[in-house]
Amino acid sequence: PVQPGECANCHSGFTIDVKPASHTISGFCATCHGVFHSLSGIGGDTAPPFRRHPTDIVLPNTGEFTNYTTYNLDAPVARTTVPSNSSSTVTPGTDVVMCLSCHKAHATDYDDMLRWDYSAITTGGSGGCLICHTGK
């Protein structure tokens, strides 16, 4: 975790206000970390159009993703609207995959600031990437 007073190690020298056009947390992250994907071509017959995992896309409501229905703090999703009550239900087809679904904003013990140890994920397991990708 980031210690008090260390924020300026990454967050310094800004001369503009950070106001992402998409008004999403992934848009905010991309103002410094680059845009890693394009939404065009997703679901086509060719390779996906992104270099990293896509963000700001709706969690599909088909295939392996339909089994991710109980909210898990290890892989949070974004809501498209602010709910009137908190909910532990994930709604594939509505809820959104975002940068913070896989990464933490202020450091972790794992490579690439992931929420989990990628090297410890095993086929048939239920942690890490397999929280959403339930069919692997």
Residue-wise pLDDT tens digits, 31-80: 777 656 555 555 555 555 556 777 888 888 988 888 899 999 899 998 88
How confident is the model at residue 116, as a pLDDT? 93
Q: Would 8 be classed as within a structural domain? A: no
Residue 110 confidence (pLDDT) above 90: yes
Residues in contact with 128: Cβ distance below 8 Å, sequence separation at least 6, in sequence order: 74, 114, 115, 116, 117, 118, 120, 121
Q: Would 10 be classed as within a structural domain? A: no
Residue 83 confidence (pLDDT) above 90: no
Residue 128 confidence (pLDDT) above 50: yes
Q: Would 6 be classed as within a structural domain? A: no
Q: Would 96 be classed as within a structural domain? A: yes
Alpha-carbon span 37 to 34, nearest angstrom: 9
pTM confidence score: 0.72
Q: Would 41 be classed as within a structural domain? A: no
Alpha helices in the chain (DSSP H): 25-33
How confident is the model at residue 104, as a pLDDT? 92
How confident is the model at residue 57, as a pLDDT? 84
Whole domain around residue 72: which residue ranges? 52-136
Q: How many domains does the chain have?
A: 1
Residue 117 confidence (pLDDT) above 90: yes
Q: Would 18 be classed as within a structural domain? A: no
Number of alpha carbons in the 13 Å side-chain half-sphere of residue 14: 12
Q: Would 29 be classed as within a structural domain? A: no
Following CA atoms 100, 92, 88, 36 in sequence, which dihedral angle do they give, to the nearest 10 degrees? 0
Alpha-carbon span 32 to 131, nearest angstrom: 27
Under the banding of pLDDT at 50, 70 and 90, the label for residue 115 is very high
Q: Would 113 be classed as within a structural domain? A: yes
